[in-house]
Amino acid sequence: MSSALICSKRSKPASVLALGFAALLAGCSASSEDRLELGVASSLAVAMERLTDEFETETGISTILVVAGSGTLLTQLEAGAGFDGMAVADQDSLERVLAFRPGATHTRFATGRVVLAVAKDNPRRLSGLSSLSDPELRTAIGTEGSPIGRYARQVLAQAEVVIPNPALETSAAAIVSKLLLGEIDAGLVYHTDVVASGGLLTELAIPDAPSQFFLARWSAPAAQFQEFLVSAPAAAILSEFGFGPP
């Protein structure tokens, strides 16, 4: 499944999949001192829209979010996308950003945890990770190149659990979509994804399954946003969406 790429002005996203890459760069680039363009990992999208709404109210700096799976965003960055910064969902993604933008400043602004998500009320009565070895269970995890996929493989290796023929998705958002559509029975996603489902998903906690989220920035507007991200108002918003402190 390919990663969706969304260019949104605050809370009004519009799909740009039908546009060519050159058109995307023309429509979602050209940084200035009163405009902030961020590449945002899909697992952070909803919280980032709230955060940038608040940031825009406080500073008057208009914000554009380009939302996609981390791999897609990194490819766009390396191809010349005009981001002022990127919000990513793991250390590996951050290191790739910094390799391309060696002068960038970065900060860890939130933490989270990986969970086993199932439909509301756990209809298959799964007990935890060990249940995923059932060959009749339809389970999805992230691809090897995605943050949620890297986290999932760490969790499964630590628990010594092997999933027979899992479905592979490029983002946690894609796994959540399949869960909500009833196409799979279980998936490894972020706690924040379950919170965002509004009660449609149930989570089974996994011991020692942390995740972390970073902002890398290389422009003056992004520096202002970085300061905002570590403020008390931003912490309150992140907590509302299920993120933990950095």
Specify whether 120 is located in the same domain as 92: no
- Whether residue 26 is predicted with pLDDT greater than 60 in this model: the reply is no
pLDDT-derived band at 7, boundaries 50, 70, 90: low
| Domain assignment present for 216 | yes
Question: Is the separation of the CB atoms in 172 and 189 below 8 Å?
Answer: yes
Specify whether 152 is located in the same domain as 86: no
Residues spanned by the domain of 182: 112-210
Specify whether 61 is located in the same domain as 72: yes
Specify whether 22 is located in the same domain as 62: yes
Residues above pLDDT 90, as percent of the chain: 83
Average model confidence (pLDDT) for the chain? 89
| Domain assignment present for 81 | yes
Number of domains the chain contains:
2
Task: Please report, for the domain that includes residue 78, its CATH number.
Answer: 3.40.190.10
pLDDT, tens only, 180-210:
999 999 999 999 999 999 999 999 989 889 9
Specify whether 174 is located in the same domain as 123: yes
- Whether residue 33 is predicted with pLDDT greater than 90 in this model: the reply is no
Whole-model pTM?
0.86
Specify whether 222 is located in the same domain as 161: no
Specify whether 94 is located in the same domain as 136: no
For residues 231-245, give the mean pLDDT: 97
| Domain assignment present for 246 | no
Specify whether 143 is located in the same domain as 197: yes
Q: With b meaning 16 or more CB within 10 Å and e meaning fewer, what string describes 182-220?
A: eebbbbbbbbbbbbbbeeebbbbebeebebbbbbbbbbe
Question: Is the separation of the CB atoms in 213 and 105 below 8 Å?
Answer: no
For residues 105-115, give the mean pLDDT: 97
pLDDT-derived band at 19, boundaries 50, 70, 90: very low
Closest among 67, 76, 83, 97 to 35, alpha carbons compared: 83
| Domain assignment present for 149 | yes
